[in-house]
């Protein structure tokens, strides 16, 4: 499947955004995938770069997942180090910002979902079904 | 920050799960980060491995993000190829399964969030605020 192709069915949307290391701009996925539940963004930040402002959210909690790079993350007055494998959940009212202090690009994913919206989760929300494999 | 350490504040939780390539089991993040909005899992599937069952969800939409590896993904009767950069949004009633056909591990993230829960999103849900940087 080539980058920017899209396949859609009744119950799904498939896209391909390519290698995350090749991202040239922040890529928001909700409209591309027709998600009704989450806005996910894929980002790459150059060595030494920082997000140019602090921000809060009105309704959405955010979860940041750092895939590559090292830096700092600040929420309100707390500043801490982050690196590959760091996962930061920030409540709507948390004032947040981050920067990349490493000499490689920082690659990270941000998941926005509406605070307090989750009811069941993990395997408890799933049901196993019988389907014939097509591969 | 070492793997499995946790830092918590009023508005956030920070954890570190380590290098995703070193995962030894599926890691669910909701309870670790105290998320109220999403269940995110981090997974590694060995070469040739497949998810051993198809499943649907009761309330949660899922978004799969493939970070490494190649394989197949099936929803209902549609089977398609996936690779690094593939993003698949599956509605609750979609019957889904996947396999890794590459000779390296498949590494992927799954985001569960409650279907139709998102209202505002992206920058429209954010507000810029003034905060003193601590770095």
Chain B (91-110) residues lying within 8 Å, Cβ to Cβ, of chain A: 91, 93-97, 99, 109
pTM, entire model: 0.97
Chain A (56-85) residues lying within 8 Å, Cβ to Cβ, of chain B: 56-61, 63, 65, 67, 72-85
pLDDT band, residue A13 (cuts 50/70/90):
very high
Whether the pLDDT of residue B71 is over 90: the answer is: yes
Least confident piece of the model among A12-16, A51-55, B22-26, B110-114: B22-26
Q: Which residues in chain B have Cβ-Cβ distances shorter than 8 Å to A59?
A: 119-120, 125
pLDDT score, position A52: 96
Q: Chain B: nearest CA to A104, how far in angstroms?
A: 16
pLDDT score, position B5: 84
pLDDT score, position A3: 79
Choose among A62, A103, A66, A60: nearest CA to A82.
Answer: A66
Q: Which residues in chain B have Cβ-Cβ distances shorter than 8 Å to A61?
A: 35-38
Is B44 within 8 Å of chain A by CB?
no
Q: Six-digit token pair at A84?
A: 């590959």
- Report the distance separating Cα A105 and Cα B36, nearest Å: 30
User: What proportion of chain B, given as a percentage, has pLDDT over 70?
Assistant: 100
Q: Which stretch of DSSP H or E encloses residue B30?
A: helix B30-33
pLDDT band, residue B17 (cuts 50/70/90):
very high
pLDDT band, residue A83 (cuts 50/70/90):
very high
Q: End-to-end CA distance of chain B: give it in Å, rounded.
A: 17
Least confident piece of the model among A46-60, A85-99, B115-129: B115-129
User: What proportion of chain A, given as a percentage, has pLDDT over 90?
Assistant: 91
Whether the pLDDT of residue A45 is over 80: the answer is: yes
A127/B55 touch (CB, cutoff 8 Å), yes or no: yes
- Please compute the mean of the pLDDT values over residues B108-131 and round it to a whole number: 95
Number of helices (H), then strands (E), in chain A: 1, 12
Is A40 within 8 Å of chain B by CB?
yes
CB B76 within 8 A of CB B88: no
């Amino acid at each position: 499947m080539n980058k920017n192709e899209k396949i859609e069915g009744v119950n799904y949307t498939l896209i391909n955004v390519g290698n995350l290391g090749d991202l040239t701009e922040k890529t928001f996925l909700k409209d591309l995938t027709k998600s009704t539940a989450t806005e996910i963004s894929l980002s790459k930040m150059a060595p030494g770069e920082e997000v140019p402002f602090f921000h809060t959210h009105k309704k959405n909690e955010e979860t940041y997942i750092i895939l590559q790079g090292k830096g700092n993350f600040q929420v309100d007055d707390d500043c801490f180090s982050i690196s590959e494998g760091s996962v930061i959940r920030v409540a709507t009212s948390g004032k947040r910002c981050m920067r990349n202090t490493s000499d490689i690009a920082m690659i990270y994913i941000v998941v926005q979902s509406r605070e307090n919206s989750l009811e069941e989760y993990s395997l408890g929300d799933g049901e196993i079904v019988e389907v014939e494999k097509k591969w």
